[in-house]
Amino acid sequence: MNIIIGGDFFISASSKKKPLIDKSIEEVFASANYRIVNLEAPLTDNDHKNRILKTGPHLCSSTETMLSYLKQLKVDLVTLANNHIYDYGNTGLEDTLQTCQKNNIATVGAGLTLKQARATSYREINGRTLAVVNFAENEWCNANNERGGANPYDLIENSRQIQQARKNADVVLVIIHGGHELYHYPSPRMVKHYRYLAEQGATAVIGHHTHCISGYEVHQNVPIFYSLGNLLFDSTTTFPGWYQGFLLDLKIDGNGQPAWTLIPYSQTKPKQGIWALDEAENRGFFQRINEINKVITCPSQLMAQWQSFTDAKQQFYLRSVAVPWIFLRRVLAKLHLLDRLFSKKHLNSVHNLVRCEAHRDVLLSSLENRKK
């Protein structure tokens, strides 16, 4: 069984440029038995009236444009558990599900109900069963008991999903959308959780969402890839890591044991598209990956990187959740103005910082450091 897995795939509906996919990348996809990418935004041509209330950008892709590239890469399954799949509400999600179904592209990780969102994807490949379990950290787009959306990150429920998948399948891929944007390392909490999930019966654990590459490790014979980086994401940024990612070429032998190859590439800059690295860039990529791997497997180095990251983020998180100066808070409360200070948008923002695992990690670390 040969599976190709790619990271975040998004082409803006308003994009005027036509991305070009290098032939070498196309051939990698064509060589596999099964191809999986993360569809980072709904496929919908509806107007913006369906936008949900959230922080951060609302993303959607043109149905026609994205379909052409999904078909070019022969994508078999799109993972939908991510923080943008419900940006345009039930309408955007339903459009996406229907479009994929009509074009014989399987979906996993999102649904119009919580039960549908939690469903595992099964596929028979060369006489063996592949299961894909997909979930996302808890932000605006996750399903709940009242509405559809992405499959929520819930350590207990996700563990049960993996255990059940192991009973029904020969190969179980766990694909998680989570982590810290523009940060090359998992948090200590992520390492602990991902290792635990690997123990529940996964053949491999694969992550994305950070918009940059991270490293990998092997835990109890299960490979854990913390972030694949962007596959193709046509936004621009000053962060250099945005423009490089890797495909995971995963081969499963007859005994269910995985072997893997990382296939690095550049994307979006200086041209629109995906193309293979040259020899020097390739060496630099693997040198960087190996450096990250060493940090991941050394708790003290991982904590030092995490401390540096949270120190840099501390002021943003503290400003987002707190009104300074006790005297000012008392005056505002006495004049019954405190509630007016907290707009609905601000309260929603605070709610998301506390709810989302990645944001909460930084917030907790910042608050703990502030107390010292």
Residue-wise pLDDT for 87-110, tens only, equals 999 999 999 999 999 999 999 999
- The per-residue pLDDT for 347 is 77
Residue listed under structure tokens 């940090």? 295
pLDDT in tens, 205-222: 999 999 999 999 999 999
316 and 258 in a common domain:
no
Tell me the backbone φ, ψ of residue 149, rounded to 5 degrees: 140, -150
The verdict on 116 and 178 lying in the same domain is: yes
The two structure tokens encoding residue 333:
């409360």
Contact indicator for 128, 137 with CB cutoff of 8 Å: no
Assess whether 355 and 213 both reside in one domain: no
Domain identity same for 312 and 243:
no
Nearest to 118 by CA among 156, 88, 77: 156
Strand partners, 222: 219
Contact 32, 4 (CB under 8 A): yes
Q: Are residues 75 and 200 in the same domain?
A: yes
Neighbours of 238 (CB within 10 A): 6
Task: Identify the band that residue 325 occupies on the pLDDT scale cut at 50, 70 and 90.
Answer: low
305 plus 293 within the same structural domain: no
pLDDT tens digits, one per residue of 225-284: 999 999 999 888 999 999 999 999 999 999 999 999 999 999 998 888 999 999 999 999
Residues 139 and 257 in one domain: yes
**Contact predicate 204/226, CB 8 Å:** no
Domain that holds residue 305: 301-371
C-alpha to C-alpha distance for 8 and 136, rounded to whole angstroms = 13
Q: What is the pLDDT of residue 133?
A: 98
What pLDDT does 263 receive? 98
Among residues 244, 276, 297, the one where a domain terminates is 297
Q: What is the CATH number of the domain that holds 84?
A: 3.60.21.10
User: Which residues are within 8 A (CB) of 18 and not within 5 positions of it... i.e. 6 or more apart?
Assistant: 272
Measured between alpha carbons, how far is 45 from 156 in angstroms, rounded to an integer? 36
Residue 13 pLDDT = 80
Whether residues 239 and 359 fall in one domain: no
Indicate the residue among 249, 278, 297 that finishes a domain. 297
Whether the per-residue pLDDT at 195 is higher than 80: the answer is yes
Phi, psi (rounded to 5 degrees) for 37: -135, 160
CA 170, CA 131: separation in Å to the nearest integer? 8
Percent share of the chain, pLDDT over 70: 94
240 and 355 fall within a common domain: no
Same domain, 61 and 207: yes
Predicted model pTM: 0.90
- State mean pLDDT over 15-35: 91
pLDDT digits over 119-173, tens only? 999 999 999 999 999 999 999 999 999 999 999 999 999 999 999 999 999 999 9
The answer to whether residue 15 scores a pLDDT higher than 90 is no
Amino acid at 196: Y
**Contact assessment for residue 105 and residue 159, using Cβ atoms and an 8 Å cutoff:** no
Q: Mean of the per-residue pLDDT values for the chain?
A: 92
Cis ω before 270 (30° cut-off from 0): yes
Q: So what's the pLDDT on residue 370?
A: 74
CB atoms < 10 A from the CB of 26, how many? Answer: 14
Residues 86 and 192 in one domain: yes
Residues 153 and 198 in one domain: yes
Domain's final residue, options 297, 315, 350: 297
Instruction: Give me the number of domains the chain comprises.
Output: 2
Instruction: Label residue 366 by pLDDT band (50, 70, 90).
Output: confident
